[in-house]
């Protein structure tokens, strides 16, 4: 079953909080042009083994689809039959080479060597330069009468599942779907530069069917060998 309310949040990042062992998400406060606040929660640690989250960032992201994003109004846009052209799919959308992803620990001593540090670098730049943030994932809220637990705005609401949302097994299989992957795009208006940030779990298979369910175990089809397996599948289909 796919995510309940997949879409993209557009706004400016105005604050952030790094994750910790007790709260393994990097939190970002986003505000749209109407003054509505949202929180985006970015996983920095996997509940499945291995715990290190896969990470890839492009500092010169280039995709034909992003030309449509600036025309969106700020705030949350649900993506279904009305906006299939701006949805993300790590496998079918050919957004990046999965083999370029690296597993990173959530938080270890030292500078620029863990996922907290990597994400923080780009969001601090986004805050300082008032860049436009596009966060893809699953919407929660608004939670009427409940303040946000990290930034204390009301009503609490935001985006989570900002990572690949297919190829899951076990209790997370219910989130599987195609064209509903999460991620973050940051647009720096002064320079016209796009940064693309993409995350996945090592427990996810990169061979999925039309419902986003794994067709091969992760040991046979993962981020390291996905291209090779896809070629083999294509070769078999031609015979």
pLDDT for 231:
45
pLDDT for 239:
35
Compute the distance between CA of residue 47 and CA of residue 41 in angstroms, rounded to an integer. Answer: 15
- DSSP string across 99-164: GG-EEE-S--SSTT-SHHHHHHHHHHHHHHTT-EEEEEEEEEEEETT---TTT--SSEEEEE--S-
**How distant is the alpha carbon of residue 223 from its chain centre?**
16
Rounded to two decimals, what is the model's pTM?
Answer: 0.93
Closest C-alpha to 151, from 54, 19, 8, 16: 16
Please determine, for residue 234, whether its predicted confidence score (pLDDT) is greater than 70: no
pLDDT for 228:
55
pLDDT for 236:
46
Compute the distance between CA of residue 239 and CA of residue 232 in angstroms, rounded to an integer. Answer: 11
- Above pLDDT 90, what percent of the chain? 81
Name which of 37-41, 106-110, 233-237 the model is least confident about: 233-237
What tens digit of pLDDT does each residue of 23-82 get?
899 999 999 999 999 999 999 999 998 999 999 999 989 877 788 899 999 999 999 876
- Residues 139-147 have a mean pLDDT of 96
- DSSP string across 10-62: EEEEEEEE---SSS-EEEEEEE-TTS-EEEEEEE-S-SSSS-PEEEEEETT--
């Amino acid at each position: 079953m796919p995510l309940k309310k997949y879409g993209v949040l557009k706004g400016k990042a105005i604050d952030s909080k790094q994750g910790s062992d007790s709260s393994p998400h990097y939190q970002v406060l986003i505000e749209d042009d109407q003054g509505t606040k949202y929180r985006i929660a970015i996983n920095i640690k996997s509940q499945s083994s291995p715990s290190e989250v896969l990470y890839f960032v492009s500092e010169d992201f280039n995709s034909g689809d992003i030309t449509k994003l600036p025309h969106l109004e700020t705030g949350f846009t649900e993506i279904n039959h009305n906006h299939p052209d701006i949805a993300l799919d790590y496998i079918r959308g050919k957004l990046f080479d999965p083999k370029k992803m690296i597993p990173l620990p959530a938080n270890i001593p030292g500078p620029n060597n863990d996922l907290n540090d990597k994400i923080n670098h780009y969001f601090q730049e986004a805050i300082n330069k008032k860049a436009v943030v596009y966060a893809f994932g699953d919407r929660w809220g608004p939670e009427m009468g409940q303040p946000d637990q990290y930034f204390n705005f009301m009503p609490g609401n935001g985006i989570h599942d900002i990572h690949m949302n297919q190829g899951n097994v076990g209790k997370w299989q219910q989130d599987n779907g195609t064209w509903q992957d999460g991620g973050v795009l940051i647009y720096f208006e002064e320079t016209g530069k796009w940064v693309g940030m993409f995350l996945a779990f090592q427990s996810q298979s990169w061979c999925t069917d039309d419902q986003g369910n794994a067709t091969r175990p992760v040991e046979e089809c993962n981020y390291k060998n996905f291209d090779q397996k896809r070629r083999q599948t294509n070769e078999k289909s031609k015979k």
